[in-house]
Amino acid sequence: MKKIIKKANLAGFCYGVKRALDLTTNIKKENPEKNVFILGELIHNNQVIENLKSLGITVIQDVEEIKDPQNSICVIRTHGATPEDINKIKAKGCKILDATCVDVKKVQEKAKSLIEEGYKLIIIGKNNHPEVIAIKAHAEENTNENAIVLASADDVLHYKEEIKNAKKIGIVIQTTQKTENLQNILAIVSQYAKELKVYNTICKTTSNRQSEAKTLAQEVDLMIVVGSKTSANTSHLSEILSTITRTIHIETEKEIENYNNLIAKANSIGITAGASTPEYIINNVIRAIESKGENIK
């Protein structure tokens, strides 16, 4: 029997990722004689990063790595950068191209405004994620206030007294977080907060992608999530879908061989992908499955 393969409509690049890639590749085309650096990985996808390198665009981890700044352009990645790093780049005399996602910018602004309005700020997200690091740094700029970062409901208890003692609590969320995580944390924080203001800053694309994928997962025997293992939104997709049906998370079609047995047993397969996964990689995965036909063992 021929396998049914269903691809999610919202799989692959979101508008923020596409915008960042277009800005970065275009600036190099327009300035071939200049050095183009990206402070950190532009997006979390190894194949895209390798392609950017092939175009002569260099990924750096520290501002001090910028060489010949007067003849250089430094790209701020989709996740944003701290005010400190931005000021260091400017001080070097290096031109800046800001490719920060528009939705991430909004979170930075809302986080900053909450602290300015006297709220104790809570950021829901992964403490070491570059987006969260930048949000926290922008919010704390020019203030003595420190934001709290909560990755899960379990973290709330660690800050229980601080939350209880605050006059009012303000919350923003990393744009790629799971809605369920937000709900679980709010359920506990609301027990201790005297006054609570919440900005649900999970980006609409992320919410819609997760919702569509959950529906698709209910219709198939196996879900395949395509994208980098270091991508937060891709990993969250895999976590969510694994509670609904059997799910595997792969970066490229090369990993298909590791799951031949699972694919052979599945009559229907759903394919989705993270916001930083190129369309060609998704299509390569589909072709790899189709090419096996009924000979998968």
Active site residues: 131
- Ramachandran region, residue 93 (left: φ > 0; alpha: ψ -120 to 50; beta: rest): left
Which stretches of 67-219 are DSSP H helices?
83-91, 102-116, 130-140, 153-156, 160-165, 179-192, 204-217
Whether the CB-CB separation of 277 and 12 falls below 8 Å is answered with yes
Record the tokens describing residue 85, joined without a space. Answer: 């790093």
224 strand-pairing partners = 248, 271
Q: How buried is 23 (Cβ within 10 angstroms: 0-12 exposed, 13-18 middle, 19+ buried)? A: middle
Measured CA distances, 292 to 57, 197, 264, 271 (Å)? 37, 53, 9, 16
